[in-house]
Structure 1
């Protein structure tokens, strides 16, 4: 451990460790917010229209398993929204939120490859932005689910 701390590579990285730690903490907090949003949206969807149980989205916080589970959640959440909006006869885009979820899943997959630092940094930024956009899309559909469409029947 002592030789790592005294190595020249560590000395170059040392001033940036706090910023790097904050970036990863921010990413984790955003991922927790997305899980919470997904769960609250799935709760508003009728049980017969759900393709995934609301509590299963918390599996996105498990390291390594979440690489695969991001793809599953993106597909099943989109299918659940499709089913719910079809029942309510609400016109929405085809495969709602799937594109944003899939982009995040692929960028997160790329983030887990051993890459040079600069490439990792670029992919981390892209993954963070795609997670933020996915969060905003989930929020948009969450608000749409809260609306009462019984007036249109």
Structure 2
């Protein structure tokens, strides 16, 4: 695919910058969800610090980091759920996170436009599902904290 740099209009550049900014903002909200979930996990159960969640915002590096987040979040949540005696799926979110990471990787490899488009669509779908899953696990930990504090006051 050859790009004709002479015919790039200012509107095309503005659109590209706007798309990049929207992506960064969405990744920032996603990173914040990961960070807030990690803050609810006991430090001894975490396999990554909450500040490491912000690494998903860095373009190109996040292709690699998505694999780490999927693995480390699943292990951290498994440890926390075990300690709290919460019955939850084994390796919570790992499969969804890995699918997202693989499809995101495939969408960033210069393949045929059709394959890149399909993997980008799949990546977007799995990104949303994974984000919702992590947020649901965060909500579960918040509710468990409320339940524990209520039990201690009774």
TM-score when normalising by structure 1: 0.81
Unaligned runs of 5+ in 1: none
Structure 1 pair 22/119, CA: closer, same or farther in 2 (3 Å)? Answer: farther
Q: 2:47 aligns with which of 48, 51, 58?
A: 51
Q: What's 1:114 paired with?
A: 110
Q: Which has the higher contact order (CA 8 A, sep 6+)?
A: 1
Q: What's 2:69 paired with?
A: 73
Question: What displacement does 1:21 show?
Answer: 6.7
Superposition misfits of 4+ residues, deviation over 6 angstroms: none
Q: Deviations over 1:98-129 (max 9, x none)?
A: 11111111011111110222322222111111
Structure 1 pair 38/81, CA: closer, same or farther in 2 (3 Å)? Answer: same
Alignment length (residue pairs)? 143
Q: CA RMSD in A?
A: 2.4
Question: What displacement does 1:30 show?
Answer: 2.8
Unaligned runs of 5+ in 2: none
Q: Deviations over 1:35-93 (max 9, x none)?
A: 11000000011111111000001111222221111111111111110111101100000
Structure 1 pair 130/28, CA: closer, same or farther in 2 (3 Å)? Answer: farther
Q: What's 2:140 paired with?
A: 144
Q: What's 2:31 paired with?
A: 35
Question: What displacement does 1:23 show?
Answer: 5.7
Structure 1 pair 91/76, CA: closer, same or farther in 2 (3 Å)? Answer: same
Three-state SS of the structure 2 residue aligned to 1:115 is coil
